[in-house]
Structure 1
Amino acid sequence: RRTGQRTTNAPMFLRLLSPTIGRRALHRCPAARTTMSSFATSSNAPPPTPSFANSRLTPQALSEYYEAQFDSKGIEKFSVKDPASGAEIAALDLHGAAEAKIAVDRAHDAFRNEWNPNRVTAQARYDALVRWERLIRENARDLATLLTLENGKPISEATIEVAGGADSVAWFAEEARRIDGDVMQGAKRRQRVMVLKQPVGVVGAITPWNFPFSMITRKIGPALAAGCTVVVKPSEETPLSAIALTYLAHEAGFPKGGVQIVCGDAKAIGAELTGSSKVRKIGFTGSTAVGKLLMAQSASSIKRISLELGGNAPFIVFEDADLDRAALALLGSGLRNAGQTCICADKVLVHDDVHDAFAEKLAEKMARLRLGHGLDKSTTHGPLINAAALDKVEAHVTEAVEAGATLVVGGSRAHPGEGLKGHFFQPTLLTDVKVDMSCFREENFGPVLSLHRFKTDEEALEIANDTEYGLAAYFYTSSMRRSWTISEGLEYGMVGCNDVAVTGVTTPFGGWKQSGLGCEHSKYGIEEFLQKKAVFLTF
């Protein structure tokens, strides 16, 4: 319950593992005393049948709504599949550069006309964002169902993500009314200088599949609040959540040209967004490799760019830590969304004095996790997004074990129930992990916890900072002195001391080093979409 969500609103697996559950409900995992165990439980249930209260938010209706935006009959389609079952849930037109150009032109026209900042007041922007937030909350159940279908995460996590997306919109609705400039003394006696903040113009928002809902609201929300227009390019793995958000934005009263969406060929659409002189800013969440490519492509037109890129988050457990609290937090940080988050704990550093006890607590808790379809409410963990993700995680674990790591829990692919032929991998615990192993040095993007022993604070900091990434880091200690020294010593944009909840609408989200540029959320988030103008008044 100390990982940032109250128990009643927490993901299913955190409620299952909550220390408030009676000890008789727990069973010890023999893996903690041996070298290996199979993963304990699966739901063994067939995929549930999804239901929608709003007929306009079904996969079929959203597909039709999206395809009506472009005149592209007879075009090739791409398939959107449920990663848990492998079943197709939608087939969308495979759009590319031509449709991206149309979307950019529409957004540019809307910025000059219907959404012109000289015509649309801050109050009007606030009102539209509040209407959008209300529609999101009213349709939250359907939106969470849609998210689970295309992404695979448990419905409890999807529900939290949708609520968080609505919170982002609500926050930036208020920010629309807080865009203040400044008045300064001029260089001359009879001169004053006004500093105005004005929208940058058309924004290209390129979003990932792991949080297909919230990654969009945290980009569209501040852009619209600032007075910009947006072209969204979602992942082809999870386009339906983005289409649903676009539909609801139009229902809320935003001009259709003001919120555009293009799905399909990532390279072609990305090249059009970065190459167009009408697009003045790119916002991207994804891999560091693609972020570097977008930076290079944007250089010719000197676009503003904000990047939220890869991570390799350390999780440090000192000898004076509350081990139960740290273990529960690590499961929340490392295994949420099947480990597919940029701020997941990839490398777990545990003090030598408490290593074995901590590993045993983790193994005990992990044995109670339950794989299955995300719409099954008993499921704690869903599948990985696709076959490539599954192959990568399996390769990391295999490499580690062959190089001497000890497999304690999990470690293999899984088929948790009838009809669930998707990309499941057992939540996995490795000990005796070396710092040069891929599972420790790289972003796993899978449900793997890799434990490495350390003996001194200096050693822990050196290992934690030995990476090109710098997004998030976590550590657990009861020492006030250590709380300060480790917080200041970690080379990361976000640090959690005795906590893994390092995100929220009121606080900045952004990384150091090759984990990104700029920030999202907080009072600083909207500044990414504004440019300053100095007006010199001489009298």
Structure 2
Amino acid sequence: MQRSTSPLNLSNLVDRNAHFIDGEWVTSTSGALDVINPANGEIVGRVPNGGAVQAGKAIEAAYRAQREWAAMTPAERAVYMHAWAARIRDNAVELARILTSEQGKPLSESLEEAEGAALFIEWYAEEGKRAYGETIPALARNKRILVLPQPVGVTALITPWNYPGTMVARKGAPALAAGCTVVLKPASQTPLTAVALVALAQEAGFPAGVINLVTGKSSEIGEEFMTNAKVRKVSFTGSTEIGKLLIRSSAEQVKRLSLELGGNAPFIVFPDADLDAAVAAAVGNKFENCGQMCNGINVIYVHKDVAQKFSRKVTQRVANLKVGSGLEEDVQLGPVIDHRAVAFVDELVQDAVQKGAKVEIGGGCLTETPYQKGSFYAPTVLTGVTTEMRIAQEEVFGPVAPIVTFSSEEEVLAMANATPFGLAAYVFTKDVRRVFEVSEQLEFGMVGVNSASLSVPQAPFGGIKQSGQGREGGHHGLEEFMEIKYISLTL
């Protein structure tokens, strides 16, 4: 297996209008879906509008390939995975342009996402070699007790539109490292990045059927994933509403699920915090990917003693953000994914304003030139926000920073925990006691202390309550794709 010596022409590879099944690009006869650039409304590509039939064929291909892929040693599987990561790096610039063209984020963020995808694949290529079993002391001399981890089997991966590159790798890498074959269904808004990544996997030489890709009707494909008994595991990132439907439909076969669902992340700034660090982290997290991040800040809680100073500093930073097409030089904030998303963000902002919130900057859709053809929303800071406002209760998923003030540790913990969601939370303080006590009392699966960055390959990413089940990242992410087999041996 030779590493490519020069970048591929990914644009040609992406422009196939085909599914990838059993090692081949299969032309669709089921019509096509247009992929729209949210910065200008232009069509940037097309993918098949497939359904249950195509999903069923992909599952069959994965099922046929499963036995041999699982039989390989972890080191053998790692060779393919390292080759895949290398090709992603070789083609990072073109991959980033494809990602930005269909998703909208700045090219700099897309380049970081390409690198993140390569890192996840590389890390799991090595972590797969450490899927250790156990030998347990028996109660009799002629007994031996062995515990073996084994791959779950065929796995369906349903990835979201906000991180169409990283999420393919974050789900696919541990599944492949564990010995599972996969069928990938990317979000209909951003399928081209997944197509490009699968094309690079093909170039890396993965055996036929190990990686499969279908695009199209989410309801039909999802139903096939859930009802086909050959699919042993489904990993999904998306809304809590869809997650609940998957839980219900998994009951018939007791199908394994990993779910990363909605969030309502609090960002808490105590009066002893390094205010400049907190401001930089808040703006960096809240406006990354135009606020469309699962573990992104939803509400900023600031102690009343520093709230005015904090709000002023945040507003000054936000005022300097350059908004535009992600393909333009120095752009820091791209469009929201589509016009429906823009309308929802504005609905939450207007609800807050009507109930007394003050717009410090922004506060509306951007419709003038050069934004008129895209789905842009002005970067917004709101002060005077209260927990009764919808924007404090619902996931914003847009470039809006609502600021709520608090007076005590007990008060802010009560406000932050008063949500059915529990994905991520952030705390800024220099008090070591507070670091531990607040982190332990926050009802969230992840807590960032004096930092607002959480997603790394070696740590378990995931939530509690209605934010999901299971973890992605770390050895925990590998274990999500493995079953435990107990062998009792009599000599």
Deviations 1:51-72 (A, max 9, x none): x963233475343575973353
Is the contact made by 2:16 and 2:27 (CA closer than 8 Å) also made in structure 1? no
Q: How big is each residue's C-alpha offset from its partner over 1:370-402, in whole Å with a ceiling of 9 and x where there is no partner?
A: 110101122110001011111100100011101
The whole-number CA distance in structure 1 between the counterparts of 2:438 and 2:465 is: 18
> Aligned partners of 2:273, 2:252: CA distance in 1, in Å?
50
Helix, strand or coil for the counterpart of 1:307?
strand
Tell me the secondary structure at the aligned position of residue 371 of structure 1.
coil
Native 8 Å contact 1:84 1:420 kept in 2: no
Q: How does 1:135-150 map to 2 (within 5 A)?
A: 135-150=87-102
8 A contact 2:235–2:257 mirrored in 1: yes
The 5-angstrom pairing of residues 372-387 of structure 1 reads 372-387=324-339
The CA deviation at 1:417 is: 4.4
SS of aligned partner of 1:535: strand
- The Cα shift of 1:482 comes to 1.3
- Aligned AA for 1:55? N
* Correspondent of 2:252 among 263, 287, 300: 300
Equivalent positions of 1:273-288 (< 5 A) are 273-288=225-240
CA contact (8 A) 1:396 1:439 kept: yes
Q: Report the counterpart of residue 25 of structure 2 in structure 1.
A: 69
Aligned match for 1:269, one of 221, 230, 244: 221
Correspondence for 2:373 among 396, 421, 437: 421
Look up the match of 2:3.
none
Spell out the pairing of 1:290-439 with structure 2 (5 A cutoff).
290-415=242-367, 417-418=369-370, 421-439=373-391
Would the alpha carbon gap of residues 337 and 456 (structure 1) be closer, same or farther in structure 2, given more than 3 Å must change?
same
User: In structure 2, what is the equivalent of residue 101 of structure 1?
Assistant: 56
Q: Does 1:155 align with 2:107?
A: yes
CA–CA distance in 1 between the matches of 2:130 and 2:269?
41
User: Match for residue 85 of structure 1?
Assistant: 40
- Aligned residue in 2 for 1:450: 402
Q: Distance in 1 between matches of 2:103 and 2:368?
A: 17
Following TM superposition, by how much is the alpha carbon of 1:532 offset from its aligned partner in structure 2, in angstroms?
A: 0.9
Alignment of 1:46-57 (within 5 A): 54-57=8-11
Task: Give the letter for the 2:17 counterpart.
Answer: S
Confirm whether residue 180 of structure 1 aligns to residue 132 of structure 2. yes
Give the aligned residue type for 2:296: C
Partners of 1:200 and 1:155 lie apart in 2 by: 37
1:292 deviates by 0.7
On the 8 A contact 1:508/1:519 being kept in 2, the answer is yes
Supply the RMSD in Å over aligned alpha carbons.
1.6
| Aligned counterparts of 2:342 and 2:153: Cα–Cα separation in 1 | 40
- Asked whether the equivalents of residues 59 and 89 of structure 1 are also in contact (C-alpha less than 8 Å), the reply is no
- Judged with a 3 Å threshold, the aligned counterparts in structure 2 of structure 1 residues 452 and 147 are, in CA distance, closer, same or farther, namely same
The C-alpha deviation readout for 1:23-63, integer Å capped at 9, x for no partner, is xxxxxxxxxxxxxxxxxxxxxxxxxxxxx963233475343
Does 1:190 find its partner at 2:142? yes
Q: Conserved in 1, the CA contact under 8 Å of 2:18 and 2:48?
A: no
Report the more deviating stretch, 519-528 or 181-190: 181-190
Letter in 2 for 1:521: G
Q: How far 1:415 sits from its partner (Å)?
A: 3.8
Shift in Å at residue 410 of structure 1?
0.2
In structure 2, runs of 5+ residues without a counterpart are 1-5
Contact kept, 8 Å, 1:477 with 1:483, in 2: the verdict is: yes
Equivalence for 2:461: 509
Q: 1:79 to 1:373 in 2, by over 3 A?
A: same
Question: Is the 8 Å Cα contact of residues 19 and 213 (structure 2) preserved in structure 1?
Answer: no
Q: How does 1:160-171 map onto structure 2 within 5 Å?
A: 160-171=112-123
**3-state secondary structure, aligned to 1:462:** helix
| Amino acid in the other structure paired with 2:252 | S
Tell me, what secondary structure is at the counterpart of 1:192?
strand
**Relative to structure 1, is the Cα distance of residues 54 and 435 closer, same or farther in structure 2, using a 3 angstrom cutoff?**
same
Count of residue pairs brought into register by the alignment: 484
Q: Is the 8 A contact 2:324 2:371 kept in 1?
A: no
- Asked whether the 8 Å contact 2:413–2:441 carries over to 1, the reply is yes
Cα 1:56–1:429 shift into 2, 3 Å:
closer
Letter in 2 for 1:72: S
Q: How does 1:104-119 map to 2 (within 5 A)?
A: 104-113=59-68, 115=69, 117-118=70-71
How far did 1:189 drift? 2.8
Residues 224 and 181 (structure 1 numbering): CA distance in 2 closer, same or farther, change over 3 Å? same
Distance (Å, rounded) in 2 between the aligned partners of 1:239 and 1:521? 23
What 5-or-longer segments of structure 1 have no aligned partner? 1-51
TM-score by length of 1: 0.87
Partners of 2:357 and 2:384 within 8 A in 1: yes
The match for 2:182 among 230, 239, 264 is: 230
Q: Is the alpha carbon distance of 1:201 and 1:416 closer, same or farther for their aligned partners in structure 2, counting shifts above 3 Å?
A: farther
Residue 132 of structure 1 corresponds to which residue in structure 2?
84
